Structure formats: C-alpha cells, structure tokens
Structure 1
Amino acid sequence: MISIRILAAVAAACGICATATAQSNDTAFPEANAPSSPAGAAPPKFEFARIRSRIAIGEKFGWVETGMFCTGRTDLRANAKIEDIANNEANAAFKAAIRELGLRSAAPEISSFDTAPAKSDPDYRIGGVLETMSLQECHTSTERKGDFAITVKWEVFSPRLQKVVYSQVTSGSAHIDSFEAVTGGEFEARAYLKALREMMKDPGFVALKAADGPAVATVGATVAAPALAPLHLKSAAAMAGGTQANAPALRNAVATVLRDNVSGSAFYVADGYLLTNHHVVGNAHYVKVKLSGGRIIVGEVVRDDARRDVALIKTEPAGVPVLHVSMGDPAVGSDVFAIGSPLGQELAGTFTRGVLSGNREVNGLEYLQSDVAINPGNSGGPLLDGTSTVVGMAVLKITQASGLSFFIPMRDVANTLQLIFD
C-alpha cells in the first residue's frame, strides 16, 4: 500500500515543515475584519483556548523551600514549560468558573454509552496573556503553604467575527497559611479562578451575547449528516492565452486560509466561494482568508467532507479572479501547474510546474498523481492544466521520496460537495 501523508502533518512527520505557522505576538488571538452577525437569544457557549506568557525565560518569579522546617530556599525562574503549566491550571480554573457562575460550556457531554458525543461550536473562546506571576512556597512531599499571585490580560475571541471582542486585565491570588494537602497545580489554579471570576463578573463580559458567535452544532459520529442539496455556482470562463501567460491573475485567485496556528491554501471557484481541504479548516466553523493582496476577510465553512478531505468556504465578494474548473482529467504526460502557500503565508502565490504522472486509487479514493512540487501549506491549492483550468486540489504527498504529489480530481470535489458549475 502506498504510504501517504496529509500535507498539514507536523514537522517531525513530514521531515520538512508543518503547515502550522506559530504565532509570535503577545496577544492571545490575532484580529481580523468582522462581518455583520445575526441576532440570537440563546445564552452563549464558552471554550477555553490557551494562555501565553509575557514572562521571559530565565526571569525570576519567586522562591521555594522544602521540608517541615522550610529550609533550602531556591529561586524559581521561568522555563520553557511555563505556558504548558499555566494552561493546565487556567483550564482547570475555567471549568470551575463555568460551573460556579452557571455559564454554558462548549465542551461535549460525557456519555456512559459508546457513542461519539455531540459538541457545539463555541460562541466565544477565552484566552489570556500571563503578565506577572509571583510564588513563595514551602512544601513537603504531600503538603504545601505559601502565596501565589498572577495578573492576566484576558481576551474573548469570537470565531464568527474572527476577532477579539472583549479584553480585561485582572489579578488573582491564593494563600495557604498552614500546611495543606494540595498539589501545586491545585494551589495555583485557585489564583486563576479568582482572576477569571473577576473578569466574568465584569459588565462588559456579562453583556456578551450568543449573537456574536455561531450556534451551529457539530453532529456526533453516530448521527448521519443530512444529504446536501445541489448548490449552483456561476462558473468562470477559462482565461485566454494559457496558464503560464495568465500566472499573475491565476495567483490572485488563490488565498491562504488561517486557522489558529495552521495555514493552508484555497482558491476561488465562484464569487465569494473558495475550495480547500477539510484538514485545512479542521472543525472550525469560521476561518480567516488572506487574499493575495494581503487583505484578511472572514470565511464561513458551509460544506465539508472529512473522508474526501474537501471543504467549501463562503466569504464576502473578494474582487479577485475566479478560476474555471473542469470535471475531466488531463492526459498523462501533459503539463500541470500548482499554486499555493507552501510552508505558510510568507510564500503565498508560489507557482510550480510539472507533468501529470498518472491516475491512482488509494483506499478506495481516486487521485491525480504528479511530480509538480508541493509542500506543507499547499494543501487545498489548485492544480491547473495548460489552459488555465483547475483539474484538481492538492492534498497528499509522499514524504519518503520527491516528485510524488497527489491531488483530488475536481469531479470528486464537486460530486462530494454537491456543487454544480453553471
């Protein structure tokens, strides 16, 4: 059996680079332009996202002593695990705060039956930046006492609007006067709980409504998805002059999809409609779409299929060229061209050339094979023939060898998503 790997695989697996591009700023979430949102009366659902730290690696934030007599004081300095530890403690505090304040969580309900739980997309994701931290602690093997204090810049992100809609800085502290049988994580989570309580009781947070986020349910695996109704899209004519002559315009029809720390490619097949891979959008209902000119708009995932690894994204009219698509396959040996964002958005619009090597079937699914160069980040990008026509979508690559790339035929993309190009 041919060994294939999704282009969004992590660097260790693909041996080159992950599709994911790490965020390096100090905000918990990036921001983008926001569309209008529909009204809704249901209470919003919240999901914990992550904590980032502004505390520098090596910076002293406290001390620790050990034993019943609290001796051997040692300075505490931040290391590479500071965000992992903060995430665990803040997530535990978030769950406690949600229960305590009677808010709705987007986390799936746990069932005693062997069925996949249904999970609702969150209306909001809560994250934060750890601004300051102070710990003075004495512990034995089973008990501890001391003081722990934090300051966090909380941010509330709306997946629907693809931007931060609320921000607040709060502080929290925990104090144990006499030895108590509690773990370090439990002790420090108390401070995060206090900081979250203060934020969640703020009028600005209380005023958040579900209208600012999606209320779309992700159906469990045991529930059959409804059959898709055919969707008619206005097709574009093929650009006269061929693919190479139209390279600048064709590149403008290809965008970069941004989701958390993952990026991939997508291409416009009708005004306001892009195609990409399911593994590029994941379970997100909304993603950012970065156009070739640098403008970022919000995209809504309106159709997708995990097995065939395809997805349809709807955006506002983007004012970019639309690609012509074909339900046929190019001849083996003919020239083909790939466009995408290999290794991330910095290389968006990369244009490569190869030949169609063959038609393959892997695990019951059809693929076009080519030696055209693609890399992580090309996922979801178009494969064109010499007439400026899209014939496939980038999806797979053999990592153990060069020149073995695979594409989903456009007829499969259209049939799976029930798209009709008029």
Structure 2
Amino acid sequence: MGRGWMMGTAALAAVAALGGCGSGMPIPAVEMRPPPEMGFERTLATLRFHGATIAIPPGTTIGGYGGNLWQCAGRSDPIAWQMSRTEVFSRSFSDIFYDRLNLAGYRTTGDPSNLFADIERGRPRTDYLVGARIDEIRLDICHQRDLLTGDEKFLKTGQGYVRVQWQVFSQALRKVVWQATTEGVATLEDPSPMAVQLLINGAFGTAASNFAAEPRLLELVSRDPTQFAVADRQTGPTPLLVPQRPLRTTPLVDDADAVRAAVATVDTGTGHGSAVFIAPSLLLTNHHVVEGHESVMVRDASGRFRKADVLRRDGRRDVALLQLAETVAEASVLPIRLTPPPAIGEEVFVVGTPGMKGLAGTVTRGIVSGFPRNDRGLTDIQADAAVSLGNSGGALVDGRGNLIGLTYAGFQTDGGAPLGLNLFIGIADALAKLGLVVEEPLPAGAEPWDDYPTAPAN
C-alpha cells in the first residue's frame, strides 16, 4: 500500500480509554475509484501537498475492539482519540499523497521521492497547493490473543475508515478555488503492534486515490492557471497597453549605465530576484520571485526602495507584472524588441542582481545557443551568458540594449560551477501571457493608461 506507512508522530496515537462497553465500530464500504483518463494532449498545472490536519476533538470515540472471541481478546473499552486538533505534517501522509496522485498521472512538485527536483530542467513551479482535513476516523480492531494461554498479545489486525476534506489553493488567485470530500478504508490482515497507524494511513491512501479520481480536479488542473485567474477576477481578455520606446541603435557599451539603470532588485524579505522596467511604473519579473506575495519592495539603480504590487502573474510561463505607485524617469525604461526574434549565434547580455544584492546591475555576455521546449511545452531561449541565483526576472538584452527576454533558470554542477545551460523567456511570450500589448508612442501630453482597447466579442 505504498511506502512510509509508519506515521512517525505521536499526534496519530489512539489510546484505549478506561471504562465503557464497546465492540468494533462498523466500517462502511468504500470503493476505490480508478484514475481518470488523462490523454497525452493535456498540459496539466502542478500540485503540491501542503499538509494535513486531523480535526477530531480529544476524547472522541473513534473505534472499538471486535472480531471473533477465539482469535481476538474480548475487550470492552472503546478507542478514544487522545490528541487535540493539530496540524500534522506527516511524512507518511505526504508520501501517500504523492504516490497516489503520481500514479493517477498528475503533475506534482515537492515530491520527496524525487531526489533531483532541484536540478530538473525547467524547474516547474507550483500552481496549486492541496491541504487535507481528516474529520472522521473509525476503527474496528482485533487485539490478538495467544491461542494456547488466552493472554493478550501486542499484535493487532482490523479495519479502518477515514473521511477527508480536501482544499485546493490557487497560487495565482491566492485563495481556495475548490473543495471536495472523499472517504477511504483499509484492512490489516498481518498482525502488527502499529495497527492503528497502519489503518489510518491505508485509509488515507484510498481517500487520496478517490480525490485523484474526481473529475473536477482534472478539469481544474487542465486549465491554464492564469486564464483561470483572469476569468475569476473578471478582467476578461482586455489587454494592458505598454508604450513602446524607440529601439536603441548603438552598441550597448556606449550606454551601458542607462541599460543597467532599467533593471531593479526585487526584495521579498526572504530572498531577492531581479526585475526590468518596461514602463515608468511597470516592471516584469518571474512568477517564482514573487510567489506567495501580493507586494514586494523594489530597489532601483540609485538605491531607492519603492513598494510594488503584483498586478498580474502567470505561473505556467513563470512571469509576473509589478506596478509601482509612482513613476520613474523614461530613461530608466528598456525598449522592447519584438522583431526580429533572437537568432542562434546572436550576441546577448544578461543584466541582474546575481548572488548578493550588492551586485545589482551586473552584466554578463554570451550567445544564443538554441530554442528548446520545456516540460510545459513552452519555447525557451537558451544562451550561455552566465547567471546565478538572484538573476531570475532580470533582463536579457541584445547587443544594443533592447529587451528580448527574461532570465528564469540556470544550471550548475554539484560543486556550483555554471554549465552554460541557461534559459530565458522570450519577451513576446512573456508579454502575451500577461495580457500586455506594446503600442507605438502616444502623442505628447496623452496619458498612456487612460484608455484600454475594447475586448473582442466572444
């Protein structure tokens, strides 16, 4: 029934309370449903197990001792839940969840069995968090007896049942978007001193399989998380206009300071990344840089800190749009090069804040090496320009300092040496996923954010 059945925590201990009369608690019949038909054409959002809560008040009777008198000791005391309502982040529950969801064909992140998750190509980000709340446990335990002496043994068999309430939390919307309740049962035929733990784990596994079989779950993760977020916020397909600045025509070395000034450092309080100005109050960065935050602090090239709100985000493409409450100088905005697209062998430069915040504005050089597709079916730009932690969300510019992409992944050896296998998001794709449209410069005196284009008719 999977691996890691040992609960490894006292929070799952059930003890026999003195007094009362009892027998085995009736265990309902629960069918384990088959996994859904995935189909190879689906691109699924990712799921991560966030933890489990056992919400059963202490003293609640959760079972009794049954079975035949010949094999089982005739005990009359009930089995009572001992612990208070506590969040249980059990390794066993985590293992069971990933076993059952992966077996059903879902895409998961944070799986403890994946020893190479930190260096996998593309490093998929989590779209949805899943939490479990166990609100009912039933046990029918046979306390084994010695057939010769009649004495009780420490070994037990039996049946178990759990009812689990599941919640699915959208990282894009920052709220619970779906809830479901499933049941699970388990039978333990091989006597064990850990029967209670094994039965709860086994029943949780069946409930997890039934959760994976829910059609609504497959429907939810089959939708693009950002499209789901846009529809839920009722912004519709309305694009946001980004005024275009004239493309730079001179070599980057002639105006390197201006290009560096257009790239800022994003400080989340627990880490940092980079971002690039595409308008006087708008910056692009990676979704994973601001994941879990509604606002962050942005430090510009002059050292000034400003608060920025996360206006839009797309976890699948790993891009996010930040908005400042005030504007910066036009000179601190990078021109956007949509055409021609980058070509293999073209010289490119990376600008960002690698490693330490004090290295803000670092520039590295390389060439475009290829255009691989990642595990989500999206095309990346591959270049050998050096990047490291902190570069994420920074600018990839051409030889003249025009924005052509965003840094989002880099690979290193176990010793930390760069491999030159660095991935970038093409600027056209980043803008499209966030609903941004580049417009020609507006007439003098016009306010670029006054009007939005009319949404196309459905």
| TM-score between both structures, scaled by the size of structure 1 | 0.49
- Radius of gyration: which is bigger? 2
Q: Relative CO higher for 1 or 2, CA cutoff 8 Å, sep ≥ 6? A: 1
Q: TM-score of the superposition, structure 2-length normalised? A: 0.45
Q: Which is strand-richer, 1 or 2?
A: 1
